[in-house]
Structure 1
């Protein structure tokens, strides 16, 4: 009973703090950390990782079913005042299986946020960058995107040896509506952000207000939007001929 009351009080404290000081500016990458753990407690809307980190089920990547002891990787933010830890994005992961090569057993996964991108490099903070060719995916990342990084530690150092990087997750959303257009940026369904500078679309097509489109979105954390549209295809509307009958 005491554990349940403590969990409820933690969630209440975090929600109260969030309502008083809403996130109006991009999150500081230095306040975020990647944590590997297991699900230890489940309730209707909230889940606990390692008995100490909670998250809302809306933060879970993909349509997956969670159980206690499910292995996850989470991007965690700590409240500077209460020191309560909350996961702002969670992805389920599988444990190594028999037959995995020994070299692969030394590899780990973590979640990183892109701080900037140049022609040759992807930065996860001001001083740490990785070559673009290590990124695996059709759509190049942008500032604020979340990446799933496979790495190993270089022997005798604290430096990461990056093997692969990809978007943390991506999903398709069909027949959704463009709800905002502002010069070279826009919003789909009032929740998914896009910029024309990084958007893939049919040649000659530019999204317009109230267009119905199919999109591919990736996870991000900056600004008011937690998903970025990377690809948009207009839904073809079949014209229905109007037959005039004078009688």
Structure 2
């Protein structure tokens, strides 16, 4: 919230400063195009007319294209530039990622969707879009709120789709982070990674405790104000330095670096 207020104040000052409205030559600065890059991320904070993407890229509502209102957890594509006033990144254009991301190859498409419910062996993206757990990446068990990339095919004249495979849209890992909250069977790590004992991989005999230092594997998932869900938690003293279990996601073992998500 404080970062959003800082962004709004800095933007107001810039618009109010006549020097900011002068051209490059008037300010004695060299001419040249700003360095822009396009990124894809998730809206992690939203307040009034301002928001934040991936906790690091600020934007205002007037740069959002289309008529669909943005909300926390929404996937977006943003054109980003460095903002010297904010000492950070600012989006000059924000596009909402469509529910259907379009064709991959002939007859195959990619759908980006959020799990709304799971019933027995069936995963529901919506009332009309569902598929069997059998097509999920090996050993990964999705949970309500998880974002998945679903590869599917459809035949002309048939409304139902045939899901071919599904996997987490994004995953990440972090080492030596602290469990900051536990309530019942749910908890939070590092103040921003949600976990539930109903769906997390733990070493045999380990029970997460408040203030434990742990290493985690997480997937993109929407739970209240959190956009990550831990799928694997290992006490720091039991994890080998620099590596991490993949939490059953089916990927080869890889190096992980301590990070703040």
TM-score between both structures, scaled by the size of structure 2: 0.56
Match of 1:155? 156
Match of 2:172? 171
Match of 1:236? 237
Tell me if structure 2 keeps the 8 A contact 1:137–1:167: no
Q: How does 1:203-218 map to 2 (within 5 A)?
A: 203-218=204-219
Tell me if structure 1 keeps the 8 A contact 2:148–2:168: yes
What is the deviation of 1:110? 2.0
Say whether 1:16 aligns with 2:54.
no
SS at match of 2:180: strand
**Residues 36 and 118 (structure 1 numbering): CA distance in 2 closer, same or farther, change over 3 Å?**
closer
CA-based RMSD of the aligned residues comes to: 3.5
Q: Could you report, residue by residue, the CA deviation over 1:145-176 in whole angstroms, capped at 9, with x for unpaired residues?
A: 00011112222234322111111111111111
Matched residues in 2 for 1:180 and 1:107: separation? 42
Stretches (4+) displaced over 6 A: 35-39
Tell me if structure 2 keeps the 8 A contact 1:137–1:166: no
Tell me if structure 2 keeps the 8 A contact 1:153–1:160: yes
Tell me if structure 2 keeps the 8 A contact 1:191–1:227: yes
Match of 1:53? 95
SS at match of 1:199: coil
Q: Structure 1 regions of 5+ residues with no counterpart?
A: 2-13, 20-30, 55-73, 77-90, 97-103, 238-247
What is the deviation of 1:15? 4.8
Tell me if structure 1 keeps the 8 A contact 2:76–2:95: no
TM-score between both structures, scaled by the size of structure 1: 0.58
Tell me if structure 2 keeps the 8 A contact 1:220–1:227: yes
Q: Structure 2 regions of 5+ residues with no counterpart?
A: 1-20, 22-45, 52-68, 83-88, 239-261
Match of 2:202? 201
Matched residues in 1 for 2:170 and 2:75: separation? 17
**Residues 213 and 38 (structure 1 numbering): CA distance in 2 closer, same or farther, change over 3 Å?**
closer
